[in-house]
Amino acid sequence: MDRRMYTSILGAVRKIHAEEGIRGFYRGLWPACLQIMPYMGAVFTSYDLLATGYRHLRRSVLVSSSPVLQALDTMQDAILGGAAAVISKTFVYPLDLVRKRLQVQGTQQFTKSSLPVYTSMSNALVSIARNEGVLALFRGLTPALVKAAPASAAVFFVFGWTRDVVLAVKPY
């Protein structure tokens, strides 16, 4: 017996539309939007604060000749970008968890366990904290960080490399 929920993309679209209507395609959209805005703001703010601190540290007489810092200079944007992602993802992770739970609750008929049913984003946050404990809002954070840190590191590495190229060719 085939227990797959959907056998094709078109089949999935038909089934979701038939069972849930247009609204079924947007489950978790509100938490996703609420999560991405502060996440991106926190990433850039964290990166800027870390980069400012690093520049001050590099200018310091005590560490300016440190071979470790000289070696890190080439990868500073990637390292700071990865660190900024860790800080930011940790900050907004409860909203990410709620988004995923809201998206998954429509698949309840295909699982053996009964999943909690949430009526809204705030209901999910309160319910998870009350029934599973506040730390449950961070369940799954480690895999999320393993994904977010390298992705952000790559973005900031390319940003730094591009910035350096543009500044090198820009006439003063």
Query: In this predicted model, what pLDDT tens digit does every residue of 105-124 receive, in sequence order?
Result: 765 555 555 678 888 888 99
What is the Cα–Cα distance from 37 to 98, expressed in whole angstroms?
A: 15
| Per-residue pLDDT tens over the stretch 146-167 | 999 999 999 999 999 998 889 8
How many C-beta neighbours within 10 Å does residue 11 have?
A: 12
Q: Nearest-CA neighbor of 85 among 31, 156, 162?
A: 156
pLDDT higher than 80, residue 145: yes
How many C-beta neighbours within 10 Å does residue 6 have?
A: 14
What is the Cα–Cα distance from 34 to 37, expressed in whole angstroms?
A: 6
Q: Please check whether residue 104 is in contact with residue 93, taking contact to mean a CB–CB distance below 8 angstroms.
A: no
What is the Cα–Cα distance from 47 to 41, expressed in whole angstroms?
A: 10
What is the Cα–Cα distance from 31 to 118, expressed in whole angstroms?
A: 13
Which residue ranges make up each domain of the chain? Answer: 27-169
pLDDT higher than 70, residue 29: yes
Kindly report the pTM of this predicted structure.
0.74
